[in-house]
Amino acid sequence: MADNMKQYILGMDIGTTSVKVCIYDYHTKEVIANQNKDTAANIPSDQGIEGNKQDVPKIVSAVHFCVSRLPRDLLKHVTKIGICGQMHGVVLWKNEAWEKIEKDGVVIRFEGTRENMSALYTWQDTRCKPEFLETLPKPDSHLKCYSGYGCATLLWMLKHKPEKLKQFKYAATVQDFIVTMICDLDTPIMSDQNAASWGYFNTEKKEWNRDILQSIHFPVELLPKVAKSGEIAGKLNMSWNGIPAGTPVGVALGDLQCSIIATLEDSQDAVLNISTSAQLAFVVDKISNFSSNTIEHLPYINDTYLVVAASLNGGNVLATFVKMLQQWMLEFGFPIPQSKVWEKIIALGLDAQELPTMKINPLLLGERHAPTMKAMAENIDLSNIQLGSVFKSLCDGLIENLHCMMPKEILQSANIKRIVGNGSGLSRNPVLQKAVERFYNLPLEFTSGGDAAKGAAIAVKF
């Protein structure tokens, strides 16, 4: 193909644990290059285990690492940039929150300046206890506001750290911050997907609940402008690692929506994504009534909605189990790599022929609808304490929890014929895969779809 015919889109996913980027060929519909980098961005919180914060400059550094390692001969043909990331979280900043490192008039990299921004308060933050949330007014929205949601976190800060809140001029999700930075926007622009993830946003009117928030003295000037998903937020301010200046950048989207854009092949498919957390979702044209407090309707694309059961407990629970085993062995003086632990427990779980009799409720992080719930195990006896049986019971518990949130009858009523799997937590774990098919009585298949970075690239065309 002639150079002037090439049309590539840079897709980027600012995830909870890593940054992933790809170059998507608009004509062939294929990813032709990709990179990823663990952010290692978690930092201690003064709220102890109830707080969950990340260092934004480390995330910015991971973005640079990934983009700078993509082939320059491909980057120069990038015609659009699509970005998505972890929803719900909030980062605050003031002017000069980043600096551009330039060479010969070209931006080599961006760097965040810690003194001019807060940490990222993530979706896993649990500082907003039920007692606090109960004091807040009811949102004018079909969506509730939970701990870890941007508006809830800001309202907590308004009550407990008002002076800190006054230091900052802007607030948004971390993916919105990245868009603001590379476009050098005066103020952040947020998609309706990310706005809905903050709470106090009416998805049908597409506007913030300003009057409600003002009534409790919320600093509404911090609320970003909102644009429709798929719209352009701005243009690349300068040439960046070979990407031409002026390249349009889409308003940042939610990582869940983008992973589904990349994965969904048919209207009769549901998508099960298990990475850090776990979500089961399918697409509907309008908000429907399932009479359930464990299912939400999230804005998707083209004015449609995702029906979602979003669990806080997914790959993070299994990873914690593996780290626990690893730590136990270390205390006995036998260090074992995590990869070996995974390999062994999956093999043992597959060898465990009987259906699990031990019941593990895996809610290490509680759930948004039940924040005080904790993990527990029951029906333990001499026949089910082998490692393979325990791991199989844990995998079963994760899927049974999802099934309680979104029973198979809901999928049947929506005429869902198969479940499409996504996320490394599911694709690498055949024990978990078997549990999905057993609980939902539907085939589980993996497509060539891809991840949220690819979805972000595709979505910027809409």
User: Which residues touch 85 (CB under 8 Å, ≥6 apart)?
Assistant: 13, 14, 15, 173, 174, 175, 178, 252, 254, 255
Residue 154 vs residues 30, 44, 342: alpha-carbon distances, Å:
40, 19, 39
pLDDT means over runs of 10, the chain (462 residues): 76 95 93 95 90 95 96 95 97 92 78 92 94 96 95 97 94 97 96 97 96 96 96 93 94 95 92 93 89 90 94 96 97 96 97 88 92 93 94 97 96 95 93 96 86 92 59
Q: Which two tokens stand for residue 278?
A: 């776990």
Domain range annotation of the chain: 8-257+453-459, 266-446
Distance from the Cα of residue 42 to its chain's centroid: 15
Q: Which two tokens stand for residue 197?
A: 């993830």
Cβ atoms of 15 and 453 within 8 Å: the answer is no
- In this predicted structure, what is the pLDDT of residue 356? 83
Beta strands in 53-206 (DSSP E): 53-54, 78-85, 91-93, 98-103, 106-112, 120-121, 170-172, 189-191, 201-202
Cα separation of 294 and 135, whole Å?
A: 21
The enclosing H or E element of 174 equals: helix 174-183
Helix, strand, coil abundance in the chain, percent, nearest 5 = 35, 25, 40
Listed residue (190, 196, 178) closest to 93, CA to CA: 178
Same fold for the domain at 8-257+453-459 and the one at 266-446?
yes
| Helices first, then strands: H and E counts in the chain | 16, 26
Cα separation of 248 and 151, whole Å?
A: 29
User: Which residues touch 409 (CB under 8 Å, ≥6 apart)?
Assistant: none
Domain 266-446 sits in CATH 3.30.420.40: yes
- The residue count of the chain comes to 462
Cα separation of 418 and 416, whole Å?
A: 6
Domain 8-257+453-459 sits in CATH 3.40.50.720: no
Distance from the Cα of residue 135 to its chain's centroid: 28
Q: Which two tokens stand for residue 124?
A: 């896993």
Cβ atoms of 39 and 18 within 8 Å: the answer is yes
Cα separation of 305 and 320, whole Å?
A: 32
Cβ atoms of 117 and 92 within 8 Å: the answer is yes
- In this predicted structure, what is the pLDDT of residue 6? 82
Give CA torsion, residues 107, 113, 117, 119, to 10 deg: 100
